[in-house]
Amino acid sequence: MSGSPETRYTETPVLSLHHWTPKLLSFRVERPRAFRFTPGQFARLGLDSADGAPVWRAYSMVSAVWDEHLEFLSILVPGGKFTSQLAQIQPDARIRIEKTATGFFTTDRFVDGTDLWLLATGTGLAPYLSILQDPAVWQRFERIVLVHCVQVWDELAYRSEIATLAQHPLWAEHAHKLRYQPVTTRDDHADALHARIPELLRTCALERALGVPLSPETSRLMICGNPTMVQDTHRQLMQMGYRLSRLSAPGQLVVENAW
């Protein structure tokens, strides 16, 4: 991006924080008035690290495009340069945000298909919460499947928000389209599946649990989260006949590689 650092970012106040677990935090900042984004995109946020040097990290927007705030979801890494500062932040503190949102992890990368599959591990859930607040997505797809894989049940952030999200008046008539599938890999909660996403795809366990068949003709899949999960899921889906969607050759997969 061109321009001096001062012209690239603005400072905005932190409005609120919410801890899901001691290591998992959502936070809201005031949306700078000129800040625009497409659901699925991310912003770079800046804080001063412990030694005073600025440190920047990318975070996907969780919020809807019309919200007056911007919401983000973060893990807190002990000793992490950025997140150890984030862990101490209080409402009214100011955080830097680049003026322009970035990224191509957006549903307009798909030109066809009837079923949208949103596959996430951990905080990779974030962009899907914004995508699920886009009325066009609810209108366009016949079924929307959200799969969130975490280690243990308590890490399933936004569980109750996801349940109520579908009832929003702007798309409530499409609420029946959403299927939410929690997955935990290190506990055995009765309401979750218990294997990593590539394995659940390989064994068709996801399709069975959700009652939604996967096929390259109808299914369009987005993958976001742990980089090795993104790679392994991509590889598994390639073996099943799915291809990355490119401008020159629309396909069935869109992958978030920015992390």
Question: Which range touches ligand NAP (CB under 6 A), out of 30-38, 135-143, 174-182, 228-236?
Answer: 228-236
Q: Output 37 or 72, the one with its CB closest to ligand NAP.
A: 72
**133 belongs to the binding site for ligand NAP (CB under 6 A):** no
Binding test (CB under 6 A) with ligand NAP, winner from 39, 122, 145, 165: 122
Question: Which range touches ligand NAP (CB under 6 A), out of 128-136, 191-199, 203-211, 235-243?
Answer: 191-199
Structure tokens at 124: 């990779």
* Cβ count within 10 A of residue 108: 13
Secondary-structure percent of the chain, ordered helix, strand, coil, rounded to 5: 25, 30, 45
Least distance to ligand NAP, CB of residue 209, Å:
16
Least distance to ligand NAP, CB of residue 256, Å:
5
CA distance 110 to 204: 23
Ranked by CB distance to ligand NAP, the top (closest) residue is 122
Task: Produce one character per residue of 46-85: b if its CB has 16 or more CB atoms within 10 Å, e if not.
Answer: bbeeeeeeebebebbbbbbbeeebbbbbbebeeebebbeb
Question: Which range touches ligand NAP (CB under 6 A), out of 88-96, 146-154, 163-171, 206-214?
Answer: 146-154
Residue type, 107: T
Q: Output 123 or 252, the one with its CB closest to ligand NAP.
A: 123
Least distance to ligand NAP, CB of residue 248, Å:
25
Query: Which residues within the stretch 18-77 sit at the binding site for ligand NAP (CB under 6 A)?
Result: 59-60, 72-74
Q: Are 131 and 64 in contact (CB under 8 A)?
A: no
Binding test (CB under 6 A) with ligand NAP, winner from 88, 114, 139, 228: 228
Taking alpha carbons only, the member of 171, 128, 117, 110 closest to residue 41 is 128
Residue type, 189: H
Task: Look at residue 158 and give its three-state secondary structure.
Answer: coil
CA distance 151 to 205: 18
Question: Which range touches ligand NAP (CB under 6 A), out of 29-37, 80-88, 149-157, 214-222?
Answer: 149-157
**203 belongs to the binding site for ligand NAP (CB under 6 A):** no
Q: Output 83 or 174, the one with its CB closest to ligand NAP.
A: 83
Question: Which range touches ligand NAP (CB under 6 A), out of 110-118, 168-176, 190-198, 242-250?
Answer: 190-198
Task: Produce one character per residue of 181-192: b if its CB has 16 or more CB atoms within 10 Å, e if not.
Answer: bbbbbeeeeeeb
Residues that bind ligand NAP in the complex, under the rule CB under 6 A: 59-60, 72-74, 121-124, 126-127, 149-151, 185-186, 196-198, 224-229, 232, 256, 259
